[in-house]
Amino acid sequence: MVTRPVALVTGGARRLGRAIALELAAAGWDIALHHHTSDPSDTVAALQAVGARAQAFAADLADEAACAALLPAVAAAMSRVDAVVNNASLFEYDNAESFSYAAMERHWRANTAPAVLLARALHQHLLARDGATGCVVNLLDQKLVNPNPDYLSYTLSKAALDAATTLLAQALAPTLRVCGVAPGVTLQSGDLMDTATFEQAHRLTPLQRSSTAADIARAVRFLLESPAITGTTLLVDGGQHLMAQPRDVVFLAGKKD
């Protein structure tokens, strides 16, 4: 019997991860829904309602042992894993003046290292399945193309993940493709952004609208379904990367320091 492919979506219980999981489920994927502190029950029920096999898996990805154990646990429970979407992310404000080793380490452990471990684990799992192939999609950020010095530790961690996307695509081919999606202003996030600021920031693009969660979910699905694409990143941001911005949009949209 042919079974549906399985995608592990990290941080999948809410927000952007939930949108990605639902998009993939509707397209014929079963979903391993990673979560840490969020309650996954509503999202699991929504995935099952559209016909997907869905199961939640709890792990603190900043803990190396817990992260390393995640994909084998998914494979044991769901019989196969075909893709990983590295969506879980830490987004805390700092700048050059407030930067610290501790802030950098928190972002590295949340945003960069887990994606490398999960790609390696998926590659090993696919090799054991006699010729199976798969894909990793890393969630990046348009500000890597259009940099500004706000959110310094976060940006450095995403820059490292961008480099890892290229390096892993080289190292793990032909068994595993590794791609990226770089959103613009997609959902209200961080302590500095209120609803009015988000709405204004969302319009600060050439298209006068940035990405939505649905836009990002469709881009992830496209990459998973495109067997000739690896080592590249889709910018899905309404053209935000085309506009030079000296500060993060939360400040350009009128929010003060």
Q: Please list the residues that pair with 177 across neighbouring strands.
A: 135
* Amino acid letter, 174: P
Asked whether the beta carbons of 190 and 243 are under 8 A apart, the reply is no
**pLDDT tens by residue, 73-125:** 999 999 999 999 999 999 999 999 999 999 999 999 999 999 999 999 999 99
**pLDDT tens by residue, 69-78:** 999 999 999 9
Question: Is pLDDT above 50 for 256?
Answer: no
Q: Which CATH superfamily is domain 6-189+210-245 in?
A: NAD(P)-binding Rossmann-like Domain (3.40.50.720)
Q: 257 pLDDT band (50/70/90 cuts)?
A: very low
What is the side-by-side order of every strand in the sheet holding 54-58? Answer: 54-58, 30-35, 6-9, 83-86, 134-139, 176-183, 233-236
Looking at residue 254, what is its pLDDT?
60
Looking at residue 117, what is its pLDDT?
98
Asked whether the beta carbons of 161 and 111 are under 8 A apart, the reply is yes
Q: 198 pLDDT band (50/70/90 cuts)?
A: low
Asked whether the beta carbons of 162 and 180 are under 8 A apart, the reply is yes
Q: 251 pLDDT band (50/70/90 cuts)?
A: confident
Question: Is pLDDT above 50 for 234?
Answer: yes
From 93, 101, 151, 154, active-site residue: 154
Looking at residue 205, what is its pLDDT?
83
The token pair at 234 is 């889709």
Asked whether the beta carbons of 90 and 122 are under 8 A apart, the reply is no
Per-domain residue ranges of the chain:
6-189+210-245
The rounded percent of the chain whose pLDDT value lies above 70 is: 92
- Most confident range (mean pLDDT) of 35-44, 188-197, 248-257 is 35-44
Looking at residue 238, what is its pLDDT?
85
More confident of the two residues 257 and 43? 43
Looking at residue 128, what is its pLDDT?
97
Is 151 a residue of the active site? no
The model carries a pTM of 0.92
In this predicted structure, which of 128-137, 147-156, 157-166, 178-187 has the lowest mean pLDDT?
178-187
DSSP for the chain reads -PPPPEEEETTTTSHHHHHHHHHHHHTT-EEEEEESSS--HHHHHHHHHTT--EEEEE--TTSHHHHHHHHHHHHHHHS---EEEE---------TTT--HHHHHHHIIIIIHHHHHHHHHHHHHHHTTSS--EEEEEE--GGGTS--SSSHHHHHHHHHHHHHHHHHHHHHTTTEEEEEEEE-S-S--STT--HHHHHHHHT-STTS----HHHHHHHHHHHHT-TT--S-EEEESTTGGGS--SS-HHHHTT---
Question: Is pLDDT above 70 for 180?
Answer: yes
Question: Is pLDDT above 60 for 153?
Answer: yes
